[in-house]
Chains A and B, each alone.
Chain A
């Protein structure tokens, strides 16, 4: 690569140059240039699938670009496979992901040195380990005893221990992936302090987040990605949020709304003052008959917690849930299912499907009694019931008893929704129903949701993909800092405005 560097390589800690990465069916990165200086905190923004993760994976060496190169501290990454990640780590790249990776039964010190415990002649030297850990924690301004077990720490403290861990060795670049998504607002300040110490020590920080208020406090500039390209890098001091939103969304324009006029009949479900500490401070709303109600909000805004509380999966301690004006706040999940509430989980694979069972049994599992004749499951009734759902929802399956695990993600999701249609649920709580499904399946799922609403079902649709909410929802409520901050009503819900309300 003989191309002249645009910026002085001496000051750049990490640089990506002309990187392109093609995955089957998607161009994840398209000729991307990216650079970050010593001691800089850079925010990285972009919608799902914009290419943020791929860019991070390039920097950590987890992904090799098809073309272009990655330079860390002046040295090009050359290896492949695990060698490349080792190389990147040696050059000083560290990443902290959303899922914490601490061993909760061990002490803070042991976690900081996980797998690389200092030892002499095969015996761990706890004293040395604790001294070094104490020093590292102090560098971040943390007052934690390194001998404390991680199990006794709060989520924020655990997050800080994760950050302390990346300080071991000589980090040059630290990548934080949505570090505040699992934190309550009050805990965020602790994290900021740690990030500022990192920057003060000359370490470059890439801060992936969409919370504008946080980004403005912590970062100087923001790089916005869109469709595998860098849409722009803006100085935060001079940029307003609208400009960043424009960069994130592009000039896609408003297309194919499935909703004309907002509709909805009588109130079926009514939530008053529901609080789930520390995520939800008290929310109230009404769900009307035949309405699709969207919940928008950033990762960690409490969407899933709210849905679980409404569905009765987590006990509701503050607030009330009324179904047809009847108080069901204290009722169990099972009772809510019986009274016509159905819920589809966010993680289809872990909580949604029973992979070895057929489409038919996955469908009728919500109510075996409907296909049973005096306690015995009737093969023909089950085939009929499942066949009916397969046709109505448009599930593509070779046979009626094909194991669900072999279907595509979109079709699995249709089965998970279909089982509640089969059960005759009136209220559907759909948590990220389009996560991880392809574009075609997405639009099919939108159509299914609209059709169910037209049949009089009431649907709560939770999505982290802002653009899909205006397409299907009659109404969208925006969740932020534990409260609903704004309501949008169809027609004409603008994605930009919705996004602005979320950030």
Chain B
């Protein structure tokens, strides 16, 4: 070509440690929360509470990794809580019927994956908005859990493997280890694989992605499959911790998950987001919840606080996005 161009820099790397403004802000908030509660709340800084914090974080985070991908793709999944409860009930029934534990866990994950795939297919092939598809699951799965158990816990014989999942490894809750391993995997997949980058492409401009030859429908199905499997995994860990399958468990978890993702800076309009942001968002949610409990705030009022936090986070997210777009794209 006749045009001369300066050779552009090569600066793309595995951007785990390249923090942006949002993430720095979150770290500051986390530190304030941590030392604030630490200085004012008895027992907050105890070793036991730290383990409890990690366990709580894990129950949100494992589902949140997959939901991050969903929101980056411009979709939403509100079925996480009932999905966790339903798979937990399924697992408990299987264990009660003396199904081999490994088989039962795999089956529970498969059930989650299949249900997610169903919701994703409704979105991808029939154009049902993902909010509606997953809202349907939200209602049906919670109902199914209560219906099959009569709202009673489903108990099963003691199980050595589940005990390991419920317990600590190297002094850290096993669920937290699972959370961190999955964090690494999801960060990697989202940054370094065609699947991960296609999710960003679909969320940024689905038409353009389609014209590039990316199979948009397949991506849309797969993210919901992933989300179903992750919710089921959270269900397995929760079942292990509780020692029974409970239809009413993980109530409202979907809100914590979505709030964590949005607080973490993932744009609800799609195309932008990061696992690190979600990790920080999870800790913000967990710290606030834990601190409120320890301070003995009325549990009903805690719900109010949670609602305010979610709306505030979404508002902040939208304002930041708007500001950033004005800065990046100018007046156009």
- Give a binary string over B213-226; 1 marks a CB under 8 Å from any A CB, 0 the rest: 11100000000000
CB distance from A8 to the nearest CB of B (A): 44
Interface presence of A333 (CB below 8 A) = yes
Contacts of B215 in A (CB 8 A): 334
Are A351 and B192 neighbours in the complex by a CB distance under 8 Å?
Answer: no
Q: Could you say which of A350, A351, A366, A394 contacts B2, with CB atoms under 8 Å apart?
A: A394
Contacts of B271 in A (CB 8 A): 354-357
Count contacts on B: residues with CB < 8 A to the other chain: 36
Interface presence of B201 (CB below 8 A) = yes
Given A366-B212, A368-B198, answer yes or no on A357-B13 (Cβ-Cβ < 8 Å): no
Contacts of B7 in A (CB 8 A): 387, 391
Interface presence of B197 (CB below 8 A) = yes
Q: Taking CB as reference atom, which chain B residue is nearest A367?
A: B213
Contacts of A399 in B (CB 8 A): 8-9, 11
Q: Which of B158-217 contact A (CB under 8 A)?
A: 192-194, 197-198, 200-201, 204-205, 207-215
Contacts of B200 in A (CB 8 A): 354, 356-357, 361
Are B8 and A387 neighbours in the complex by a CB distance under 8 Å?
Answer: yes
CB distance from A256 to the nearest CB of B (A): 13
Q: Could you say which of B192, B208, B212 contacts A377, with CB atoms under 8 Å apart?
A: B192
Are B5 and A395 neighbours in the complex by a CB distance under 8 Å?
Answer: yes
CB distance from B280 to the nearest CB of A (A): 20
Contacts of A390 in B (CB 8 A): 5, 8
CA distance A31 to B321 in the complex (A): 43
Contacts of B9 in A (CB 8 A): 398-400
Contacts of A451 in B (CB 8 A): 1
Contacts of B47 in A (CB 8 A): none
Interface presence of A392 (CB below 8 A) = yes
Are B8 and A397 neighbours in the complex by a CB distance under 8 Å?
Answer: yes
CA distance A108 to B32 in the complex (A): 59
Q: Could you say which of B3, B213, B328 contacts A405, with CB atoms under 8 Å apart?
A: B328
Are A419 and B207 neighbours in the complex by a CB distance under 8 Å?
Answer: no
Contacts of B201 in A (CB 8 A): 354, 357, 361, 365
CA distance A337 to B8 in the complex (A): 29
Interface presence of A403 (CB below 8 A) = yes
Given A379-B12, A394-B1, answer yes or no on A355-B205 (Cβ-Cβ < 8 Å): yes
Q: Would you list 5 pairs from A and B whose C-beta atoms are within 8 A, ordered by A residue?
A: A354-B271, A390-B5, A391-B5, A394-B1, A398-B8
In the complex, which of the residues A357, A367, A391 has the most CB atoms of chain B within 10 Å of its own CB atom? A357
In the complex, which of the residues A365, A372, A447 has the most CB atoms of chain B within 10 Å of its own CB atom? A365
Are B11 and A400 neighbours in the complex by a CB distance under 8 Å?
Answer: yes
In the complex, which of the residues B4, B5, B214, B271 has the most CB atoms of chain A within 10 Å of its own CB atom? B5
Given A360-B12, A399-B9, answer yes or no on A377-B209 (Cβ-Cβ < 8 Å): no
Are A400 and B10 neighbours in the complex by a CB distance under 8 Å?
Answer: yes
Knowing that A355-B205, A383-B12, A405-B329 touch, tell me 8 more A-B residue pairs with CB under 8 angstroms: A334-B215, A343-B211, A345-B207, A356-B204, A368-B197, A394-B2, A396-B3, A406-B330
Q: Which 4 A-B residue pairings sit nearest by Cβ, starting from the closest?
A: A394-B3, A368-B194, A354-B204, A337-B213
Are B12 and A392 neighbours in the complex by a CB distance under 8 Å?
Answer: no
Q: Could you say which of A356, A375, A394 contacts B193, with CB atoms under 8 Å apart?
A: A375
CA distance A385 to B102 in the complex (A): 45
CA distance A367 to B197 in the complex (A): 11
Interface presence of A376 (CB below 8 A) = yes
Are A396 and B5 neighbours in the complex by a CB distance under 8 Å?
Answer: yes
CA distance A405 to B327 in the complex (A): 12
Contacts of A353 in B (CB 8 A): 205, 208
Contacts of A382 in B (CB 8 A): 12
Interface presence of B14 (CB below 8 A) = yes
